[in-house]
């Protein structure tokens, strides 16, 4: 258990104040999360809504829960009452459902739009053309119960650091373009660039990440 605290503090020191450290706690028991919580961690990332909801019901209510996994539309209603930030908004239909469920819960839910930057078909996300089309869509502009906080992307799982850097650079360029071209109204507070995991977070930070997602390097290998 002390290893969790030591690893957490090491990563926190290396990423702050530039970026928020999201401790990816998927598959881990509440007892492990409690160790991180006692060490001051308040941002936790999960990739399954039911598991995240079970942990939310059990743990302290000052925790910020981040949904980082691929999200099914029919599951949004379960996290709508409490989720802090949804990183993985990868389609207009999903965003529409999040807005619908947020409205039912009298909330504005913060979201990141996931951009496909990896050379892997298994990754989800918009390409730049689809992203621009969404932001210009009149239906999207009527969504009052979602706030687009920024972008998220996952680089290719590879040892080629040059490729990883180029993918992060492409995401940072898209992020900058949206800001400079004023493609979103000021209501959206477009400030977050979520990129970087255990194996590539240092490159991500160098390319402008404001949020990194670290799991196994804090909690140990997954169950």
Convert the pLDDT of each residue in 93-105 to its tens digit: 999 999 999 999 9
Total-model pTM: 0.95
C-alpha span between 65 and 8 (Å, rounded): 17
Alpha-carbon gap, residue 71 to 74, rounded angstroms: 9
Query: For 139-183, how does the pLDDT look when each residue is reduced to its tens digit (9 = 90+)?
Result: 999 999 999 999 999 999 999 999 999 999 999 999 999 999 988
Largest CA-CA distance found in the chain, in angstroms, rounded: 51
| Fold annotation for 2-219 | TIM Barrel (3.20.20)
The mean per-residue pLDDT over the stretch 67-91 comes to: 97
Give the pairing type, strands 43-46 and 64-67.
parallel
For residues 68 and 52, give the distance between their C-alpha atoms in angstroms, rounded to a whole number. 11
Can you tell me the distance from the alpha carbon of 178 to that of 185, in angstroms, rounded to the nearest whole number? 10
Q: Which residues are CB-contacts of 134 (< 8 A; sequence separation ≥ 6)?
A: 92, 95, 113, 126, 140
Residue 54, classed as helix, strand or coil, is helix
Q: Residue for token digits 């996994």?
A: 69
To the nearest 10°, the Cα dihedral for 29, 108, 102, 196?
-40
Decide if pLDDT at 122 tops 60: yes
């Amino acid at each position: 258990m002390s290893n969790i605290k030591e690893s957490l503090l090491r990563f926190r020191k290396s990423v702050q104040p530039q970026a928020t450290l999201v401790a990816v706690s998927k598959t881990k028991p509440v007892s492990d999360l409690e160790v991180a919580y006692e060490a001051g961690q308040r941002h936790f990332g999960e990739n399954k809504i039911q598991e995240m909801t079970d942990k939310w019901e059990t743990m302290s209510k000052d925790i910020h829960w981040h949904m980082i996994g691929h999200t099914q539309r029919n599951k949004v209603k379960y996290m709508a009452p409490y989720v802090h930030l949804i990183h993985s908004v990868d389609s207009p239909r999903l965003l529409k459902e999040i807005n619908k469920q947020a409205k039912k819960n009298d909330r504005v839910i913060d979201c990141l739009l996931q951009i496909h930057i990896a050379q892997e078909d298994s990754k989800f996300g918009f390409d730049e053309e689809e992203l621009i089309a969404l932001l210009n869509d009149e239906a999207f502009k009527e969504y009052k119960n979602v706030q687009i906080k920024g972008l998220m992307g996952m680089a290719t799982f590879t040892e080629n650091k040059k490729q990883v850097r180029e993918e992060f650079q492409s995401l940072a360029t898209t992020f900058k373009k949206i800001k400079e071209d004023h493609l979103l109204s000021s209501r959206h507070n477009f400030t977050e660039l979520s990129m970087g995991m255990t194996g590539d977070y240092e490159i991500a930070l160098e390319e402008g990440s404001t949020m990194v997602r670290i799991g196994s390097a804090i909690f140990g290998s997954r169950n």
